[in-house]
Amino acid sequence: MTEPLRLSKRMSELGLCSRREADEWIAKGWVRVDGQVISELGSKVLPSQTVTIERQAAAQQSKLVTVLINKPMGYVSGQAEDGYQPAVTLVKAENRWSEDGAPLQFHPTQLRSLVPAGRLDIDSIGLLVLTQDGRVAKQLIGETTDVEKEYLVRVQYDRPGRLPDNQLKRLQHGLTMDGKELLPAKVRWQNDDQLSFILREGKKRQIRRMCDMVGLKVLGLKRVRIGNVKLGDLPVGEWRYLGADEVF
């Protein structure tokens, strides 16, 4: 027989919201199981039961924003550390891209619970996603995510000649990190000193460590795409809203 699950966990699994949002909605009486309002935290449900949310929850969720930043070097993705500013400090009215077509008005309340969905090293630049929406965060950094992330990486080979083809193949598949084999990656030359990496995972400093294993030194790293969403012409240090028609 199937074991019952915590309602908040089941709601997250169904992609309705994050667990934190689920607990908030349950406490407010905005969640129904098989048509019955459930307002007790910690309640459990069977996978076969139908979970629905009230319109107040859907309305609250529709106000949640997701922001795309072209992160410059010298900013950290999350919490401030070692005197470095977090990327969220760039999200202010004067840094909004003038060509952002989203009909939203910026308001400081949008900074509440605006957190990075994935990370980008302090010395890397490019597309960083900040979101208030637990569904977006789960899609991009959840355990089962398979959303592609594309990077342009300027490299220098630390041995005579050019990187051998068999080492390029190792970058594509065959490297082990932290005792675990890496998922297959798409790696190809863009030009003489720049590689394109397309990954479906994001271990800490993964690309730099991969390059180090085959004798390549990373001189510059820029993320240009996450899923179907591209960095495009967004200027460095500026941000825009995720468009209503854009999905990762």
Residues counted in the chain: 248
Exposed/middle/buried for residue 82 (C-beta within 10 Å: 0-12, 13-18, 19+):
exposed
Give CA–CA dist 89/35, Å, rounded: 43
Number of other residues whose CB lies within 10 A of the CB of residue 85: 12
Whether 193 is a known active-site residue: answer no
Q: Which of 23, 82, 100, 121 is catalytic?
A: 121
Number of other residues whose CB lies within 10 A of the CB of residue 107: 9
Please, are residues 75 and 87 in contact by the beta-carbon 8 Å criterion?
yes
Query: What stretches of the chain adopt beta strand conformation (E)?
Result: 5-6, 31-33, 36-37, 44-45, 51-53, 66-71, 115-116, 125-131, 149-157, 176-177, 180-181, 186-191, 194-199, 216-226, 229-230, 239-241
Token digits for 193? 């000193």
Token digits for 163? 């990187």
Token digits for 72? 């410059």
Give CA–CA dist 65/49, Å, rounded: 30
Fill in the DSSP letter of residue 173: T
Active site residues: 121
